[in-house]
């Protein structure tokens, strides 16, 4: 591991487990713990650091000087990348979906403050960029450029996510995560004994493609585990969409358990998880660990 990355990782707090107690959990005899990757670092969102670690290591070992990626205007991935790039003295550049807003939101504001070059692109250009495999395919690339796909979804990302599983020393049956690209899920399942399962919750509507994407990622790393599945029905209308019911759930969760969630990923996952518990999806006595993937930076109002 590159020494700069080792030094950076020293700034990180350990990711602890917080047990959640509710009457429903008590009645159903389900044990629920939250793995607090949200507490890893004040800026870098939990799973984004996990996913970036090995791609960054590769970029540094290849002496790349510019990290290029893409994301939406509230992207946790770009937020982590811009911060980390600044820490590592690497230039960062991002293609951002949609027009440049007249008033920058807090995420975009941070990206610029940390020196990231932003290029706002149309939805159709954005879609084309999704098929990019390396920086060489971009116009005007230099050999010092290093491409990181949307959401950090690359096979190398899985290695960093796998550490999450290594860190958990207590007994459990099910590990839950929210899914955007499915990379985090793939990294977890790749490193999980087959006696345990990973349960994903899609943050997007029409998330069937996620299953294919996860299989593809796993295939690229030569593993074909089957102890995982993705719930597709807790998207609340689509990516980034919310309902009053979801917001109320998140507010109650914060006041009852002191754990902040956000409405894009972790709120939907925990809402879905409690719904499944109420429907007896799990059997009595099962122990569940839900991964808090962070993302709270996106909660800041304009």
Ligand X SMILES: *Cc1c(COP(=O)(O)O)cnc(C)c1O
Evaluate whether 192 touches 175 at the Cβ level (below 8 Å): yes
What contacts 83, CB < 8 A, 6 or more positions away? Answer: 43, 44, 110, 114
Q: How far is the CB of 266 from ligand X (least distance, A)?
A: 6
The answer to whether 146 touches 67, Cβ cutoff 8 Å, is yes
218-225 contact pairs (CB < 8 A, 24+):
218/186, 218/189, 218/190, 220/155, 221/155, 221/158, 221/190, 223/190, 225/189, 225/190, 225/192, 225/194
Size of the site for ligand X (CB under 6 A): 18
Q: Is 181 in the site for ligand X (CB under 6 A)?
A: yes
Which of 28, 40, 47, 60 lies at the binding interface for ligand X (CB under 6 A)?
47
Least distance to ligand X, CB of residue 94, Å: 15
Region of 12-20, 118-126, 233-241, 288-296 interacting with ligand X (CB under 6 A)? 288-296
* Cα gap 271→257, rounded to integer Å: 14
- Chain-centre distance of CA 58, in angstroms? 20
Stretch that binds ligand X, among 100-108, 112-120, 174-182, 270-278 (CB under 6 A): 174-182
Q: Is 231 in the site for ligand X (CB under 6 A)?
A: no
Give me the least distance between CB of 135 and ligand X, in Å please: 21
In the bound state with ligand X, the residue whose beta carbon lies nearer, of 69 and 293, is: 293
Asked if 55 touches ligand X (CB under 6 A), the answer is no
Q: Which stretch binds ligand X (CB under 6 A): 99-107, 112-120, 176-184, 228-236?
A: 176-184
Does residue number 76 form part of the binding site for ligand X (CB under 6 A)? Answer: yes
Interface pick for ligand X out of 180, 207, 267, 272 (rule CB under 6 A): 180
By CB under 6 A, name the one of 178, 217, 218, 290 that touches ligand X.
Answer: 178
Span of 18-26, 94-102, 180-188, 232-240 interacting with ligand X by CB under 6 A: 180-188
User: Starting from the edge strand earliest in sequence, which strands make up the sheet with 145-147, in order?
Assistant: 117-121, 91-97, 66-71, 145-147
- Contacting ligand X (CB under 6 A), which of 154, 190, 231, 266? 266
Does position 202 bind ligand X by CB under 6 A? no
First-to-last C-alpha distance (Å) of the chain? 38
- Binders of ligand X in range 142-161 (CB under 6 A): 151
The least distance separating ligand X from the CB of residue 150, rounded to whole angstroms, comes to: 9
For position 207 contacting ligand X by CB under 6 A, the verdict is: no
Considering only residues 57, 107, 154, 293, which one is a binding residue for ligand X as defined by CB under 6 A? 293
Q: How far apart are CA 97 and CA 119, in angstroms?
A: 9
Token output for 12? 């990180």
38 alpha-carbon distance from chain centroid: 11
Measured CA to CA, the distance from residue 250 to residue 268 in angstroms comes to: 9
Cα angle for residues 293, 281, 212 (degrees, 5° grid): 55
Burial class (CB in 10 A: 0-12, 13-18, 19+), 270: buried
Q: How far is the CB of 250 from ligand X (least distance, A)?
A: 13
Find the shortest distance in angstroms from Cβ 31 to ligand X.
Answer: 23
Q: In sequence order, which residues have a C-beta less than 8 Å from that of residue 108 and are 6 or more positions away?
A: 73, 96, 101, 118
Binding site for ligand X (CB under 6 A): 45, 47-48, 76-77, 151, 178-184, 265-266, 293-295
């Amino acid at each position: 591991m590159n020494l700069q990355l080792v030094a950076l990782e020293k700034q990180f707090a350990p990711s602890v487990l917080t047990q959640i107690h509710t009457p429903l959990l008590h009645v159903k005899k389900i044990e629920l713990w939250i793995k607090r990757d949200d507490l890893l670092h004040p800026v870098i969102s939990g799973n984004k650091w996990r996913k970036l670690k090995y791609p960054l290591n590769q970029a540094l070992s290849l002496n790349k000087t510019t990290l290029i990626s893409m994301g939406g205007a509230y992207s946790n991935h770009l937020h982590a990348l811009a911060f980390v790039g600044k820490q590592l003295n690497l230039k960062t550049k991002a293609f951002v979906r949609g027009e440049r807003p007249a008033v920058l939101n807090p995420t975009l504001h941070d990206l610029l403050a940390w020196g990231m070059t932003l290029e706002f692109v149309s939805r159709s250009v954005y879609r084309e960029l999704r098929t990019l495999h390396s920086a060489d395919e971009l116009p005007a690339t230099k050999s010092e450029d290093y491409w990181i796909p949307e959401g950090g979804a690359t096979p190398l990302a899985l290695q960093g996510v796998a550490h999450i599983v290594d860190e958990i020393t207590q007994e459990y049956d099910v590990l839950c995560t929210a899914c955007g690209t499915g990379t985090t899920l793939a990294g977890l399942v790749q490193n999980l004994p087959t006696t345990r399962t990973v349960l994903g919750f899609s943050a997007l509507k029409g998330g069937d493609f996620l299953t294919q994407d996860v299989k593809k990622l796993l295939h690229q790393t030569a593993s074909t585990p089957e102890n995982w599945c993705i719930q597709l029905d807790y998207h609340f209308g689509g990516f980034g969409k919310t309902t009053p019911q979801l917001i109320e759930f998140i507010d109650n969760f914060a006041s009852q358990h002191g754990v902040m969630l956000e409405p894009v990923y972790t709120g939907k996952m925990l809402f879905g998880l409690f719904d499944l518990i109420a429907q007896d999806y799990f059997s009595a006595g099962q122990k569940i660990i839900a991964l808090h993937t962070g993302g709270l930076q996106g909660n800041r109002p304009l």
